[in-house]
Amino acid sequence: MESKHFETQAIRTQADNSLYREHSTPIYMTSSFTFDDAEQARALFSDEIEGNIYTRFSNPNNNELVSKLCLLEGTEDGIPTASGMSAMFSSMAALLKSGDHILASRSLFGSTHQILTQIFPKWGIEHTYADIEKPETWESLIQKNTKMIFVETPSNPGLDLVDLEWLGKLAEAHGLILNVDNCFATPYLQRPADFGAHLVTHSATKFMDGQGRTIAGMILGKKDLIQDVRFFARHTGPSLSPFNAWVLSKSLETLAVRMDRHCENALKLAEYLEGHQELEFVKYPFLKSHPQYELAQKQMKKGGGIITFCVKGGIERGRKFLDSLKMLSLTANLGDTRTTVTHPASTTHSKLTEEERQNVGILPGLVRVSAGLENVNDILEDIENALRASKNASQVKVD
Ligand SMILES: *Cc1c(COP(=O)(O)O)cnc(C)c1O
C-alpha cells in the first residue's frame, strides 16, 4: 500500500523480505554480493541491470534508507554517507570544478565554513558569503562563475532562517544549483525540495538518529545531480556502514513523534526563559520575538528542537553556567533524547576568529540547548538552578 502520509512512509518503507520472511529488516553486514554467473556480473557492472555489487556502491540497508528519505523529503534519489560532513563535501565537490563559485549564507556549520574557506580555495573553488539579514543583496553577489547556492535554515547555532521560496526562485532565475542543509528542521518540519531546492543535505547524526549513536549523512535531490554525486561517492568512498543505515532507518520510524516532543519541549523552554533576568535574550524560531517569526511560521511546521540564549556576564558566566548543570549533558551533539548543551564560542566555532563569530551572532555568553525528550520540568529546573548557581559563583568571585 502506498501512503502519502509522513508517519506511514517513515514506518512502512522497507527492503524486500529475505528468504526468512522477517518483519523487521535485518542488517546486511556484507562487503559484497555474489553473482549468479559471469554474464550477470557483466550486466551489473555495465548498469544494464540493477542490483547490489559491493557495499561501497550500495547495500539493502542503505537502499532502504534512501527510498524512505526520498519519500519523506520529496526528492528523486539520494546517497547515504558516513557523516554529515562527507555529505556536505561530496555534494559540493562532485558538482563543482576549479574556477567555480559558491554563494553561501554566512551562518554555516563550523566545518562547512572550513571547507569553503580552507579546503576549496586550494582547488580554485571560490565562495562569497551573503548576509541572512540582507536578502536584497544576494542577487548582486551572484557572479558569472557562480554554480551553487548553499544555505542552512535554521542555521547552527544562530537559528537564522532563509526564505526558501524566495531562494528557490532566485536559484531558478539564475540557473544555479540550490543546496540546502536541512539538518536542524528534518523533513518532518520542512521540505526544501518543495521550494525548488535541487539538493537537500543532512547530518543524519542529529535528529534523524535521535539517540546519539551514529555519525551519518545524506545527499538527496534531483536524479541527474545525484547521478554525478553517486559517481563521485562510488569512487572516493564516503559510504555509510549498513549497520548505521539500519539504525537510521529504524530511527526514522519514530521521527514524527520525537520531533513533536522535541519541538514542544523547546517551545516551553523558550517561553519560560524569555525575559529571564539572568539572560540577555532567548532565540527560537517560533517565539514571536524571533526576527523571522513569520517566515518560520510560513516554511516550518514547528519551531524545531534547538533554542539558544545568551547568559549575562559573558564567557566566564557562560562557562560557570555549564559547570553548574546537574542533569543536562555537556556534549557537542544535538538532536538527542537527552537534552544537550553547548557553548559554541569555546567549542564548535572556536576555530573562527572573534570577528567571524561576531558576524554570525556567536556572542561569548551564547548557549545552545537541544531540547531532549525528558520531562520538560526537569530540564527547566536544571537550567534555572544552574543560572542561580552561576550567578552566586560570580558574585563570590567579585566580592
Ligand atoms: C552536525 C552538523 C553537520 C555535520 O554533520 P556530522 O554528522 O557531524 O559530520 C553539518 N551541518 C549541520 C547543520 C550540523 O548540525
Q: Mean pLDDT across the stretch 27-42?
A: 97
Instruction: Tell me the pLDDT tens digit for each residue of 239-251.
Output: 999 999 999 999 9
Nearest CA to ligand 1 atom 5: 84
What would the DSSP string read from start to end of 119-133? IGGGGT-EEEEE-TT
Q: pLDDT class for 399, splitting at 50, 70, 90? A: very low
In angstroms, the Cα distances linking 198 to 167, 191, 278 are 11, 11, 43
Is the CB–ligand 1 distance for residue 209 below 6 Å? no
Is the CB–ligand 1 distance for residue 203 below 6 Å? yes
Among 130, 119, 170, which residue's Cα sits nearest to residue 152?
Answer: 130
Chain position carrying cell 539504525 = 247
Q: Mean pLDDT across the stretch 134-149?
A: 97
For residue 317, how far is its CA from the centre of ligand 1 (angstroms)? 27
Nearest CA to ligand 1 atom 8: 84
CB-CB contact of 368 with 308 (8 Å): yes
Of residues 87 and 362, which shows the higher confidence score?
A: 87
How would you classify the pairing of strands 329-330 and 306-311? unpaired
Is the CB–ligand 1 distance for residue 84 below 6 Å? yes
For residue 275, how far is its CA from the centre of ligand 1 (angstroms)? 30
Q: Note the pLDDT of residue 397.
A: 45
Is the CB–ligand 1 distance for residue 109 below 6 Å? yes
Instruction: Tell me the pLDDT tens digit for each residue of 175-203.
Output: 999 999 999 999 999 999 999 999 999 99
- d(Cα 293, Cα 298) in Å, to the nearest integer? 9
CB-CB contact of 226 with 92 (8 Å): no
Q: Answer yes or no: is pLDDT of 356 > 60.
A: yes
Report the nearest atom of ligand 1 relative to the CA of 184.
13
Q: Answer yes or no: is pLDDT of 26 > 80.
A: yes
- d(Cα 89, Cα 77) in Å, to the nearest integer? 18
Order of strands across the sheet with 306-311? Answer: 279-283, 306-311, 366-370, 340-342, 329-330
Q: pLDDT class for 398, splitting at 50, 70, 90? A: very low
Amino acid at 91: S
For residue 104, how far is its CA from the centre of ligand 1 (angstroms)? 16
Task: Give the gyration radius of the chain's Cα atoms.
Answer: 22
- d(Cα 46, Cα 24) in Å, to the nearest integer? 32
Report the nearest atom of ligand 1 relative to the CA of 217.
7
For residue 109, how far is its CA from the centre of ligand 1 (angstroms)? 7
Sign of CA dihedral 3, 4, 5, 8: positive
Is the CB–ligand 1 distance for residue 85 below 6 Å? yes
Q: Answer yes or no: is pLDDT of 277 > 60.
A: yes
Is the CB–ligand 1 distance for residue 215 below 6 Å? yes
Q: pLDDT class for 344, splitting at 50, 70, 90? A: confident
Is the CB–ligand 1 distance for residue 9 below 6 Å? no
Q: Mean pLDDT across the stretch 78-107?
A: 97
Q: pLDDT class for 392, splitting at 50, 70, 90? A: low
How would you classify the pairing of strands 101-105 and 177-181? unpaired
Q: pLDDT class for 1, splitting at 50, 70, 90? A: low
Coil, strand, or helix at residue 134? coil
Q: Tally Cβ neighbours within 10 Å of residue 5.
A: 10
User: What is the average pLDDT score of the chain?
Assistant: 94
Is the CB–ligand 1 distance for residue 205 below 6 Å? yes
Q: Note the pLDDT of residue 195.
A: 98
Q: Answer yes or no: is pLDDT of 143 > 60.
A: yes
Q: Note the pLDDT of residue 214.
A: 97
How would you classify the pairing of strands 77-81 and 199-203? unpaired
Q: Mean pLDDT across the stretch 10-36?
A: 96
For residue 338, how far is its CA from the centre of ligand 1 (angstroms)? 18
Of residues 324 and 157, which shows the higher confidence score?
A: 324
Order of strands across the sheet with 126-130? Answer: 77-81, 217-221, 199-203, 177-181, 146-152, 101-105, 126-130
- d(Cα 245, Cα 258) in Å, to the nearest integer? 19
Q: Answer yes or no: is pLDDT of 270 > 90.
A: yes
Is the CB–ligand 1 distance for residue 152 below 6 Å? yes
Q: Mean pLDDT across the stretch 352-356?
A: 81
Nearest CA to ligand 1 atom 1: 203
What would the DSSP string read from start to end of 301-346? SS--SEEEEEETTHHHHHHHHHHH-SSSEE-S--S-SS-EEE-GGG
Q: Please name the helix (run of DSSP H) or strand (run of DSSP E) that holds residue 246, with its range, or none.
A: helix 242-252
Q: Note the pLDDT of residue 227.
A: 98
Phi, psi of 122 (to 5 degrees): -65, -25
Q: Answer yes or no: is pLDDT of 341 > 80.
A: yes
For residue 125, how far is its CA from the centre of ligand 1 (angstroms)? 21
Tell me if the bond preceding 121 is cis, omega within 30° of 0: no
Q: Tally Cβ neighbours within 10 Å of residue 284.
A: 29
How would you classify the pairing of strands 101-105 and 366-370? unpaired
